[in-house]
Amino acid sequence: MTNHYTVILGAEGKLGRALAREVAGRGCNLILISISKIDLQRFAIGLQLGKNVDVQAYKLNLGNRDDIMKLISDIKSHFKIRALINNIICEWSDEKKDCVCIPHELDYGKRFQSLAMITWLLLPELVRWPVAYIQNVVPVPYRTKESSPANSETISEMYAFSKELDEELKDTGVIVSVLHPTHVKTRQEFQLLDDPYVFNPMIAMVPRKIAEQAIRGMLAGERLIIPGFWNRLSFFLNRDTSFWFRLPLRRIIPRDEILNMGKGTSLQTSG
């Protein structure tokens, strides 16, 4: 991956920055995209100096179609993209003064549409390589009262989108993976904590360890990546089996629909 670029969408949170450090540590240049109020310029400069790779940083309004089209067009004009990591589960917390993972408080529908749009726009660049990568960061689909029906439906759509995309690209060199960043069950556990012993020493993992396994699994061609033995065990014991096995193999948001979505500059929630 040396001399090529990896795009990380949602690079401002603890997990996003850990993923960036892990990719940079492997000698790959980076394009970091912030989807919250955090400016990544200082982090990008430090990473560039420390890892001896080129790091570009941008801010993007995921609700503005024109902004997305312009940024991706600029990226395609200036950089060779070989990997795309979609992390839309980070958000700024005024209480913590930091970027944390709190999926149930996000407008997942609009963010997922933007994720799909960016993926389709960058796909022509990815399929040019003998081997390229797409990784979607998706919360674990546990049954939980804290996850709204709308967000649960969007998580299902993200799974189906990844599954369909993998099927469509099976005859290319593009490998599509899904990453479950951590055990997700309660509001507290949505946070990617620096201290692995805060709420459960069996399942908690620091972002660095999650990132290590995420990138290693992506490069190894794994389709489903769940860092940590206890997290994997918990996933298979507690997942919603009806959710998992009934995912339709169909395009949730067609390519043409995504690229022409919305009137003016505002992305519309799909029905």
Instruction: Give me the domains of the chain, ranges plus CATH numbers.
Output: 5-259 (3.40.50.720)
Is the distance from CB of 8 to CB of 31 less than 8 angstroms?
A: yes
The per-residue pLDDT for 85 is 97
* Residue for token pair 């290319």: 172
The per-residue pLDDT for 187 is 38
> What is the C-alpha separation between 191 and 174, in angstroms, rounded?
30
pTM here? 0.82
The per-residue pLDDT for 8 is 97
DSSP codes of every residue in 143-195: --TTS-HHHHHHHHHHHHHHHHHHHHTTTSSEEEEEE--S---STGGGS--SS
The per-residue pLDDT for 66 is 92
The per-residue pLDDT for 188 is 41
> What is the C-alpha separation between 29 and 195, in angstroms, rounded?
29
> What is the C-alpha separation between 36 and 105, in angstroms, rounded?
14
Could you state, in chain order, the average pLDDT of each consecutive group of 10 residues for the chain (271 residues)?
A: 84 90 95 90 94 95 91 95 91 67 63 89 94 90 57 77 89 93 46 41 71 94 88 70 48 53 41 31
